[in-house]
Amino acid sequence: MSPCERGWFASSAGHVSLSDGWEGYALYLPPFVLYFIAAVLVTLPNTRIYRFALLPLMYYTAYRDIMYLDFSGGNPQNEGMNAVHVPQNLATGMTLRMTGWAFERRTLVRVGKKRTGPRSTADILWDAADLFGNVSGIGWNYSGRPEHDGRKLTRISFSAQRFGLYVANALIYEGAMFLQVFVHRHPDSLPYYQRRVVEAVLVPTVVYSLTASNYMLSSIIGVVLIRQDPEQWPSPYRSLHKARSLTTFWGRGWQQVMRDICTRMGGVPLGYLFGRPGYVMGTFLLSGLWHDSSFWASNRPRGLCYTTTPFFVLSGVGVMIEVYYQRVTGRKVDGALGVVWLVGWSLASLLLTMSSECMWEMGRAGAGEVLPPHLTLVQSYLDWRSGKSA
């Protein structure tokens, strides 16, 4: 299949870089400032009207960032950097959370901190800073958050453990990307159907190792610099090897950190209208749109050529099949047959909804032509050795 040359929502808008000085920062910083103000307000009583008043400003400034801000350094081959810095953090992450805070009826309270009196201004700002980066919600009183791992580690032990996991996942990512590049550049190295299966397996491997590596580094920063508790940084992927159904894989295993945003902003609204099916399908639909916003940002002049939303929708259909199976038989999908079902449905969904070019683009989104040095440890070491010997 030949690469797509023009897709949906192609943008010809001029781009602004942070290297352009004040103009670039004037685009980049306002959504962060508004997001922090909302984080302050949601921890104070009787501020709901002010949170709603901030939303139009947030939507406007986030839209401007998405359309005009450029992190590629002027290199079209590095447009993928925009997938990480712009829509993933703004249009989907901060904006969706801020929308959820606007509708929040309760005052959010940091339950993990013991206080004997009213909060000081410093306490309010520090709580807001914690909520700003605490996507999982652990340590706060709102529902839908993932539970922590239950392990009590010192900051030093936690940081050492997470650094080891970062290195391990970075090596997996580098190896998976090497295989993906090889298969993409040598399509005749394997028979067609074998190659397609290998591509389908590499996609979740790349996504898993990429997000896990960055998460491990972020958790070290959160615990060491921001002084958050280690329990506020649970593992983003929970015992995937123990999953025996689509429900356990998606509901308890895969990407638990972002579950609250997807269920709160996608599942809950449709759940009010259509019950359990609406909740499940709304969650998966928002997840698909979230991913597609990144792929669109990775090549804005061309537009969105490949979409993951059909895959996520099919995953939601599979979860609902399990729900109705349990209602009819009285038994949950489990055991060895559950593993076969989980792997078979997921693999078939990937192959039916994504072409080879789509899977290739998924692996490259957020990386650009040159992969990040902190995720290519072997290549960085070889480059260092070659530069040292030169």
Mean pLDDT of 259-280: 88
Q: Does the pLDDT at position 147 exceed 60?
A: no
Confidence of residue 1 (pLDDT cuts 50, 70, 90): very low
Greater pLDDT, 244 or 130:
244
The confidence score (pLDDT) of residue 54 equals 96
Mean pLDDT of 359-372: 62
Return mean pLDDT, the chain.
83
Per-residue model confidence as pLDDT tens digits over 19-35? 777 878 888 889 999 99
Per-residue model confidence as pLDDT tens digits over 5-20? 777 877 776 677 777 7
Per-residue model confidence as pLDDT tens digits over 44-57? 999 999 999 999 99
Per-residue model confidence as pLDDT tens digits over 67-88? 888 777 766 666 666 766 655 5
Question: pTM of the predicted model, to two decimals?
Answer: 0.81
Confidence of residue 235 (pLDDT cuts 50, 70, 90): confident
Q: Report how far residue 91's alpha carbon sits from residue 60's, in angstroms, rounded to the nearest whole number.
A: 10
Q: Report how far residue 161's alpha carbon sits from residue 221's, in angstroms, rounded to the nearest whole number.
A: 13
